[in-house]
A and B are shown apart, each in its own frame.
Chain A
Amino acid sequence: MKLQDMRSTNFSRFAAERNKLVHTFGALAEIGQEVSNKHNFQETIRTSLHLVLGSLGIMRGGVVRYTRFENELNMVSARGLGDDFPFGMSLCYEDERQFLANGLYPIECDQARVLPFFQVYDRSIGQAKIELFVPLVVRDELLGGIFLGEKASGEQYTSYDKEIICAMGRHIAVAISQRNLMAELERRADENRRLYDDLKMTYKDTVKAFAAAIDRKDKYTEGHSVRVGKYSEIIARELGWGEEEIEGAAFAGYLHDIGKITVERKIINAPYRINAKESSELNKHPGAGFEILQPIRHPYAGVPLAAKYHHERLDGRGYPDGLYDREIPYIAKVVNLADAFDAMTSDRPYRRRRSAPEVFEDLQRNTGKQFAPELVTALLRGMMKELSGESKDKTFRKMLGREYMESEGLMPIVRTALNGLAPTSPLTFVAYK
């Protein structure tokens, strides 16, 4: 061969090698980009498989993902493997799994028949003309694998090809590892959500048990805490609060009188109007309730404050601190109204419950003094909805009794009371004391 011919041949070979390098490195760069982009996992694997096959001219292949719990390799993406190729392939033996997890290097299927996995799936692998299996491993953990068929050129895989495949396999392994981590995070988040829900359920049951215990202590106001909780819930719902906040209002109502467990039973159950000394003792229950509830981590904000301030009034004549309108926590205002409404509509040892006209007259008279107007509106609106049938809820009927709810003229009374209310508190802008 002449020197010139030799030069020409070498140049052609060099140019071909250069083109091959450009092509494969282009694919390598693309696969890196694909994995780092936040695409859908399935799509990332599908594109990565295209890149592996297209970079070296491989006729067919598939990417499988290893699932630890089932010890299975499950197909994520396949091209040209045919419908008969198994979707899930078991890796039954621990030593086999350990062998595959040893490192990321292509295994020639022909020479791997000593492994049970290749024996079991020999027919499928043979039919699909699979030549290589590349385990996908990250930090000694088997994450999956790539099945690769014959090259379009009909040539054997070279060591250069295998290096390229390994480099691309590392990217795919990282994609699977990221997906596994995300799945694990999602699983843990779900578990935490379930635990939180369980915890909330336990809290609810405990609170209801406490409410029942408080009401048991006061035989004349049995069911009071539960009713205050229900009325608080209605007011909160009518105010347009979110579900969590509505639940919080209900629980603040259930627990508002918890401080009464520190008050002597004879004072609570006195069948007469209590004297000043007894009254002073009884008036300590909001502070005692706060002391009891404050150290507890409630899932809802404001529960201890509702207990402490549910006897405060907008005009500053309440107790224990004589707070004015905007100084009073809003949840305490809600519970205050619910508490007062129940007190008015329940029998006491020393008096019968008030008639509906008296109750609504009292509410109107004390709106802006004891009760925030928008809260009274919310309570009345809730009642009106039930009376008119707009709401299917039967809370008022259950709490007040059928007779009370069906008493003649109740609906016009509630409507008149609603119409007569100012939209906002007249004391809202009054200077604090």
Chain B
Amino acid sequence: MTEVSSQVLSDSQGTATVFAGDYLNKLSGERIERECRAKLNEGCREIIVDFSGTEIVNSIGISILMGVIDAASGIGARVVFAEPNKMTTELFDMLGLTRHVEIRA
């Protein structure tokens, strides 16, 4: 398993990129949610969650991502899910998350 990334990249346009790691579960998910909320509080208005290295997202991961979406929409920020694999994209689609975020291949 690769290290669950807590790396956050920010640019001057108020965009933060958070890496989801290879398995988005409770442990990694809660860390990601904390980072996203911190970035939103700092003024970021676009959160990019990078799924390029993500193989699996479980139910807890979904719940946490919905928390991020909810927090972002509450302050008018947008969330982008970048490079999710096919299975993850289908899961997001099936559960309706794609209605709230932009999927960037």
Measuring CB to CB, which residues of chain A are less than 8 angstroms from any residue of chain B?
A: 16, 19-20, 23, 26-27, 30, 47, 49-51, 53-60, 79-80, 151-155
Q: How far is the CA of A17 from the CA of B12 in the complex (A)?
A: 43
Q: How far is the CA of A80 from the CA of B66 in the complex (A)?
A: 9
Q: How far is the CA of A20 from the CA of B96 in the complex (A)?
A: 12
User: Which 4 pairs of residues, A with B, have the shortest CB-CB distance?
Assistant: A153-B96, A57-B95, A54-B59, A54-B63
Contact call B94/A50, Cβ cutoff below 8 A: no
Say what secondary structure dominates the interface of chain A. Answer: helix
Contact call B63/A16, Cβ cutoff below 8 A: no
Closest to A31 in B: B59
Given A26-B58, A47-B60, A57:B96 Cβ within 8 A? yes
Measuring CB to CB, which residues of chain B are less than 8 angstroms from any residue of chain A?
A: 26, 58-64, 66-67, 69-70, 87, 90-91, 94-97, 99-100
Contact call A30/B59, Cβ cutoff below 8 A: yes
Say what secondary structure dominates the interface of chain B. Answer: helix
Contact call B59/A55, Cβ cutoff below 8 A: yes
Q: How far is the CA of A385 from the CA of B94 in the complex (A)?
A: 80
Tally of contacts, chain A with chain B, CB under 8 A: 75
Contact call A19/B63, Cβ cutoff below 8 A: no
Contact call B26/A47, Cβ cutoff below 8 A: yes
From A54, A56, A58, name the one whose CB has the most chain B CB atoms within 10 angstroms. A54
Q: Which chain A residues lie closer than 8 Å to B99 at the CB level? A: 152-154
Q: Which chain B residues lie closer than 8 Å to A80 at the CB level? A: 66-67, 70
Q: How far is the CA of A30 from the CA of B64 in the complex (A)?
A: 16
Q: How far is the CA of A26 from the CA of B59 in the complex (A)?
A: 8
Q: How far is the CA of A50 from the CA of B67 in the complex (A)?
A: 10
Contact call A30/B58, Cβ cutoff below 8 A: yes
Min CB–CB distance B8 → chain A (angstroms):
22
Contact call B96/A54, Cβ cutoff below 8 A: no
